Amino acid sequence: MKFLKALDDYAPTVPVAVTQHYMQRGGAGTTDPRILKLVSLAADRFMACAVYDATVFQMARLEAQRPARAARGRDAAAAADECLQMCDLAGCLHERGIMVHEYECLEQDHAKR
């Protein structure tokens, strides 16, 4: 009971209307606000874990590039290199069984600078 009451006070990152739309598209339509918020909570958790894992992928990618950047005289912590890239997100989603059309990383663009 406490969980359901706490769920009423929770404001999900994924709006309930978006959750309801995709649940209806998937054939699991419901109008029960508790179920919608519960699914939104699960989506929040999934996104938080995916972003964390993508950050781990990014750190590994940056660590692997460190010798090449040092040889070019670039600072290892350049701000442009610290943003998450699609290849970081695609890697962590692939581990979860979600295939994303992987776009080429912008590493070549950074190498030209």
Q: How confident is the model at residue 21 (pLDDT cuts 50, 70, 90)?
A: very high
User: Which amino acid is located at 91 in the chain?
Assistant: G
The pTM of the full predicted model, rounded to 2 decimals, is 0.66
pLDDT at 106 (0 to 100) = 52
Boundaries of every domain in the chain: 2-112
pLDDT digits 0-9 by tens, 40-74 = 989 999 999 999 998 888 888 888 877 766 666 66
Query: Of 7, 5, 3, 37, nearest to 19 (Cα)?
Result: 37
d(CA 46, CA 56): 15
What residues contact residue 16 under an 8 Å CB cut-off, 6+ apart?
Answer: 33, 36, 37, 40
Spatial separation of the C-alpha atoms in residues 43 and 37, rounded to whole Å: 10
Q: Mean pLDDT for the chain?
A: 78
Amino acid 70 reads A
Write out pLDDT tens, residues 98-110.
Answer: 888 755 655 554 4
